[in-house]
Amino acid sequence: MSSSLHRLSLVRLAEEIRRGAISPVDAVRCMMDRIAAHDGALHAFAHLNDAALDQARRAEAEIAAGLVRGPLHGVPLAAKDLFDTADMPTEFGSPVLRGRRPRQDATVIARLRAAGAIILGKTTLTEGAYADHHPDVVPPVNPWGAAHWTGTSSSGSGVAVAAGLIWGALGTDTGGSIRLPSSCCGVTGIKPTWGRVSRAGALALAPSLDHMGPMARSVADAVTLLGVMAGADPRDPTASQLAVPDYMAELSKPVRGLTIGIDRGLLKARADDQVLASIEHVIEVMTGLGARFVEVTLPPIEPALTGWAVQCAVEAAIVHREHWSTRAAEYGPRLAALIERGHRHTAFELAEAQEHRRDFAGAMEALYAACDVLLIPGLPVAGPTLDYMSGLGEDPAAILAIGPFTAPFDVSGQPTITVPCGTSEKTRDGGGIPLGCQFAGPRFAEALIARTAHAFQTATDWHTRRPAGYA
């Protein structure tokens, strides 16, 4: 099984480890071997854990002695390099924080370790979790096609999962940074409700917009991680006190009779033909499973997007105030431009942005009186190339042009799940680039949107496909 070990789902791997059929040592070695073989070309990892094999041996001994710590015991995972790890650097994709060694794990890292997970490494991200990698950082490469975008900013996590270098990874999402890499790399990503997962020990881009979530091959794998990550946290007073559901148990519930809303006017105005065709495919599949589609109209997204740009800039300027005054020259151009805009925005502009945000969030929550969940694309364009994306980042309007289906849900704080739902037309690299769709729901409806997405995955095989050369 060793040659095909990486093909196992996270859920299956965890089961096999618990019953002693697979050693955590073998699982870690499998990923280390694949990272050694492939990451020189992919650049998904920023750091590797030198103690991973020792931790795997300890997990193996514990399981053999009948001590199972939790549902992830012995499972290797990765974390975006903005989550504090006491045994590895946390550098935020920035030379300003190079060599930073936290003394304490982020809450989500501590919870994963308590459940038995082995944090094998830290994944590459855009500088400060914003729009682009620092010029000194080699950006991750999309394993589906080197000429194509990996998505911001959890790019390394998306690439690592897609290429089979890890079974699951942590990401964060401020304007789409879990969902855009998930769409581009053909993996499953969950942006939970804001407050569902603690932000303690996670370096921030814009705290009121930042969401922590998992990325994995399938819905079942992703909710396994979410169930461990979620919950109240005394280190984060904004973390919700609501009980965490048994997400896995919810997946088995049927979707027959579920009402799914779709805003065709928004999609036709913003999405290209290939994206629209992939959405029609999802509609066909879900209708065949017994779901019912209804036409809905989202509240205007432009004020929400404009407000997002203002709030993100102001909050980023606050986050970086300690280093900006003395080390501004060390920042890359994209993040520097964001921080500079944050300093220029007036109190009036910020108050207006916050008012737009409150109105939009309220209108979005009210929308679910007409449907149970929403279906929406992940990206407005199919398989965007690096050339296409090269002009984005300096102008906030240009950035938001790629995220009209993602950033609004960061503004509203509502949960979405992204799953593969097709591929683009063949590219110069020889194959298609994955396309993703989102199922969105009201606040704290993670179980419902996961059940919907899982039903789609049980009826399709998009999430099982792997890029050539990494199967």
Whether residue 429 is predicted with pLDDT greater than 60 in this model: the reply is no
Q: For residue 388, what pLDDT band results from cuts at 50, 70 and 90? A: confident
Q: Is 168 helix (H, G, I), strand (E, B) or coil?
A: strand
Q: In which band, very low, low, confident or very high, does the pLDDT at 101 lie, cut at 50, 70 and 90?
A: very high
10 Å Cβ neighbour count for 254?
Answer: 11
pLDDT at 400 over 80: no
Residue among 155, 177, 182, 240 flagged as catalytic: 177
pLDDT class for 401, splitting at 50, 70, 90?
Answer: confident
Query: Which SS3 state, helix, strand or coil, does residue 295 take?
Result: strand
Write out pLDDT tens, residues 455-465: 999 999 999 99
CA dihedral 106, 112, 113, 116 (to 10 degrees): 180
Cβ proximity of 96 and 52 under 8 Å:
no
Could you give the 3-state DSSP secondary structure of residue 104? coil
Is 303 exposed, middle or buried (CB count within 10 Å of its CB: 0-12, 13-18, 19+)?
Answer: middle
pLDDT of residue 425: 86
Is residue 2 part of the annotated active site? The answer reads no
pLDDT at 389 > cutoff 90: no
Whether the predicted pLDDT of 390 surpasses 60? yes
Instruction: Tell me how far the alpha carbon of residue 218 is from its chain's centroid.
Output: 13
What percent of the chain shows pLDDT beyond 70? 97
Residues 6+ apart with CB under 8 A from 418: 178, 179, 182, 183, 188, 189, 190, 191, 378, 436, 437, 438
Spatial distance between the Cα atoms of 55 and 69, rounded to a whole number of angstroms: 13
Has 252 been annotated as catalytic?
A: no
148 beta partners: 385
461 Cβ partners below 8 Å, 6+ apart?
none
Report the pLDDT averaged over residues 175-186.
98
**Beta-sheet pairing, 259-262 with 373-377:** parallel
Is residue 397 over pLDDT 80?
Answer: no
> What's the rounded Cα separation, in Å, for the pair 155 and 135?
15
Beta carbons within 10 angstroms of residue 100's beta carbon: 13
* Residue whose C-alpha is closest to residue 55's, from 139, 116, 96: 116
Tokens at residue 287, please? 């209708």
What pLDDT shows up at residue 392? 57
Q: What is the pTM of this model?
A: 0.97
Q: Letter for the amino acid at 10?
A: L
Average pLDDT over every residue of 377-400? 79
Which of these is catalytic: 9, 23, 94, 153? Answer: 153
Q: Which of 80, 94, 278, 424 is catalytic?
A: 80
Q: What is the pLDDT of residue 428?
A: 58
> Could you give the CA distance from residue 230 to residue 199 in angstroms, rounded to a whole number?
10
Judged against a pLDDT cut of 90, whether residue 176 lies above it is answered with yes
Backbone angles phi, psi at 118, to 5 degrees: -110, 115
Euclidean distance between CA atoms 37 and 51, whole angstroms: 20
| Burial (CB count <10 Å: 0-12, 13-18, 19+), residue 401 | middle
Q: From CA 205, how far away is CA 210, in angstroms rounded?
A: 7
* Domains of the chain, CATH where assigned: 2-464 (3.90.1300.10)
Instruction: Annotate 34-73 with b (16+ C-beta within 10 A) or e (fewer).
Output: bbeebbeebbbbbbbbeebbebbeebbebbeeeebebbbb
pLDDT at 427 over 70: no
Q: Are 367 and 431 in contact (CB under 8 A)?
A: no
pLDDT at 159 over 70: yes
Tell me how far the alpha carbon of residue 432 is from its chain's centroid: 21
Q: How confident is the model at residue 134 (pLDDT cuts 50, 70, 90)?
A: very high
253 is catalytic: no
Q: Does position 58 have pLDDT exceeding 60, yes or no?
A: yes
How far CA 267 is from CA of 383, 392, 407, in Å, comes to: 17, 21, 15
pLDDT in tens, 33-57: 999 999 999 999 999 999 999 999 9
- List pLDDT tens digits, range 269-297: 999 999 999 999 999 999 999 999 999 99
**Residue 237 phi, psi (nearest 5):** -65, -15
